[in-house]
Amino acid sequence: MRRLSLVVGLCLLAGCASQPSRKYVVFFTRDSVKLEDPALWVVTHAAQQAARDPQSVITVEGYAAAHGDLSADALLAVDRAKKVSSQLVADGVAAGRIRQMPRAPSNEDGAVGSRRVEIEIGAS
């Protein structure tokens, strides 16, 4: 339960910058692709910022921890990126503006850091 509270807090901090951010971080629970409410809020906020810059390209990078089965972990990173991309499209971002980039499974970022998707709004 403590970890979930930490994840929720990090999601809120990632989405609550004092200035419009160009990078957003969406956290997931272990082995999950489900977007919890705080994660949905971050994705929606990123979509709103992307709408303000219609020429920008949105990069969605999926991450997963390296456990026993690296192919399953790699697929989890892909699925997380797809889930966030789908939500961005549902929130009004044109699919052609989104570039998905799953990252190789790793434990370098720690337990929570490897369960994330990064959304970056950049120049076209």
Residue 33 forms part of a structural domain: yes
Residue 14 forms part of a structural domain: no
* CATH number of residue 115's parent domain: 3.30.1330.60
The CA distance from 12 to 81, in Å, is: 19
Number of domains in the chain: 1
Please indicate, yes or no, whether the overall pTM of this predicted structure exceeds 0.85.
no
Q: How confident is the model at residue 18 (pLDDT cuts 50, 70, 90)?
A: very low
Rounded (5°) CA angle 115-116-122: 160
Residue 84 forms part of a structural domain: yes
Range of the domain at 43: 22-121
Has residue 79 got a pLDDT over 80? yes
pLDDT digits (tens, 9 = 90+) for 88-106: 999 999 999 999 988 877 7
